[in-house]
Amino acid sequence: MPNTPLTISKKMRLHAHRCFRALGFDIVRTHPVSSNERVVGSFPPHTEYSIVGSLENFFIHDGYRHRTEAIHWDDTENKDEWQDEVYKFAREVFVQQNLRTVADVGCGSAYKLLKYFGDREVIGLDVAETCAWLRKRYPYSTWIELDFRNPRPLHAELIIAADVIEHLLNPDDLISYLLAVNPRYIVLSTPDRNLLRAGTHNGPPRNPAHVREWSFVQFEAYIARHFRVLEHFISNSAQGTQCVLCAPR
């Protein structure tokens, strides 16, 4: 069949992709914005971009509307569509620091935990319904019902809490729990509100299961009050994910 302009164009694009990849680059196709599609949304006024709020407001700026109800999010159907890079980073820390034990607070389906730590003894913590599901699916691992008010004794050198804190009415409950366990390292992630572009600068979050969302500077201020922040970076800009590696003082 003779080459048409379309097939020639495809061949040229494939050749360009291969050439750029050989040099360590990639070509990313962006979605064109239509004339009636809003671009601005979640970004605050420039003068407020780095504003940090009060301790009582978990360092989120005054005027932000937090949700007053927490909705349980069933994560058992998910695999590695979200926060995959957070667990990959946690594994790198685990290996580099020669750690032996890992626990995942709010582990959900545990797919990512077992994907990156399946060769280790893992501890997963979640609500009772999820733990019951996990015990049937993965009976040889340890699954603990998460109760911040009556926490069970736990020892782990590394704790992961990937996109958990934004679901809690009182995030200090998670902080107190982490301080009580006293691991060597903690990997936390949560959405960076300013990257979501969903008109949520003053809240509440567009996701109904999120109670609140921090900006980058606000989240670091909140975590730094309780822990030593060792690294803080955007782990997935497309998903608006910020990631923190921290340690007890």
Q: 88: burial class by Cβ within 10 Å (0-12, 13-18, 19+)? A: middle
**According to the model, what pLDDT value does residue 85 have?**
98
171: helix, coil or strand?
Answer: coil
Give the residue with greater pLDDT, 11 vs 192.
192
Measured distance CA(17)–CA(117) in Å, rounded: 33
Asked whether 137 and 119 are in contact (CB, 8 A), the reply is no
pLDDT at residue 146 greater than cutoff 70: yes
Measured distance CA(36)–CA(13) in Å, rounded: 30
Give the residue with greater pLDDT, 188 vs 11.
188
Measured distance CA(127)–CA(144) in Å, rounded: 8
Q: Annotate 99-117 with DSSP letters as a single string.
A: ---EEEET-TT-HHHHHHH
Measured distance CA(149)–CA(4) in Å, rounded: 68
**According to the model, what pLDDT value does residue 18 have?**
58
pLDDT at residue 177 greater than cutoff 50: yes
User: The domain 46-248 is classified under which CATH number: 3.40.50.2300, 3.40.50.150, 3.20.20.30, 2.30.30.140?
Assistant: 3.40.50.150
Give the residue with greater pLDDT, 198 vs 134.
134
Helix count and strand count (H, E) for the chain = 7, 7
pLDDT tens-digit map of 34-92:
555 554 456 788 888 889 999 999 999 999 999 999 998 889 999 999 999 999 999 99
Asked whether 214 and 163 are in contact (CB, 8 A), the reply is no
The pTM of the full predicted model, rounded to 2 decimals, is 0.83
36-68 in b/e form (b: 16+ CB < 10 A) is eeeeeebbeeeeeeeebbeeebbbbbeebeebe
pLDDT tens-digit map of 15-38:
555 554 555 554 444 444 455 555
**According to the model, what pLDDT value does residue 44 have?**
80
Asked whether 180 and 172 are in contact (CB, 8 A), the reply is no
